[in-house]
Amino acid sequence: MHDEKGIHTDFRDQMTYGEYLQLDRILSGQQRLSGHHDEMLFIVIHQVSELWMKLMLHEIQAAIQCIQNRELSRAFKMLARVSKIQSQIIQSWDVLSTLTPAEYLEFRDQLGRASGFQSYQHRMIEFALGYKTRHILDIYRKDAELYRQLHEALHAPSLYDVAIQALARAGLAIPPDVLNRDYTQPYQAHPSVEAAWLAVYRDVESYWDLYQLAEKLVDLEDWVRQWRFRHVTTVERIIGNKTGTGGSSGVQYLKKTLDHRFFPELWGLRTKL
């Protein structure tokens, strides 16, 4: 440092790194309720995951707008970034898995009914990918503004909805009832959508942008599956088959999510090519 004569050391009138990132607020948010050493790990892992999810939502929502505006190449960069973020969140399970069952039991009761099941950002990511569950909104009635945001996300077209709209704009036959479906309902596979994607994969030269879009979606869902698997494995490792703090069946509930597909036609067509 002595050789770096240009380094600034007087910040009395200038913004510092910590001020820009508001580190005082971020780093004061880890309040252990039990005082147990390992509760810090539990809090930090979940807070970091929520920060990554915030960035995922930022990118997915922007990608949806780009696809709607026919700017597919811009959307590709955003979706590629989402996949990289997902890889980071998956690796966080490796850190959390260092928490043993005995250690977790030392502070689990302090969580009350709080549970990752209630993560509203995770719910909004599911909504953005097309997995809509109206009844889940009841969890968030406590916060009127948050409930409003989730209600709006429930009624908005998903990433897959706008991808299907892009297929129709390219001249591929998608019926009106698919294009104008009720966005509040979970997406259900449709033969016309599979036929359209098959046409794209069979003529990559003519539909290069749509082909790239399809592969970006497959990448994204691939990472979601890996995240879910690591999630259920880590939870089973720490609490076994106990009921979740939020009242869910815990591991059994998580296992049910492993078979869900956000973009079913993109997986089904691989058998038919």
- Tens digit of pLDDT per residue, the chain (273 long)? 566 777 888 889 999 999 999 999 999 999 999 989 999 999 999 999 999 999 999 999 999 999 999 999 999 999 999 999 999 999 999 999 999 999 999 999 999 888 888 899 999 999 999 999 888 899 999 999 999 999 999 999 999 999 999 999 999 999 999 999 999 999 999 999 999 999 999 999 999 999 999 999 999 999 999 999 998 998 899 888 887 667 766 788 788 878 889 999 999 999 999
43 is known to lie in a ligand binding site: yes
7 is known to lie in a ligand binding site: no
Token reading at 175 = 């019926």
46 is known to lie in a ligand binding site: yes
45 is known to lie in a ligand binding site: yes
Report in angstroms the alpha-carbon separations of 59 from 53, 84, 141: 10, 12, 26
The reported pLDDT for the residue numbered 1 is: 53
Token reading at 95 = 């850190």
231 is known to lie in a ligand binding site: yes
Token reading at 16 = 């510092």
Token reading at 135 = 């009844």
44 is known to lie in a ligand binding site: yes
104 is known to lie in a ligand binding site: yes
Token reading at 60 = 């997915």
Among 57, 55, 78, smallest CA distance to 66 is for: 78
187 is known to lie in a ligand binding site: no
Upper half-sphere CA count for residue 12 (Cβ side, 13 Å): 1
245 is known to lie in a ligand binding site: yes
CA 231 to chain centre: 13
pTM of the model: 0.92
The reported pLDDT for the residue numbered 258 is: 81
Burial class (CB in 10 A: 0-12, 13-18, 19+), 141: exposed
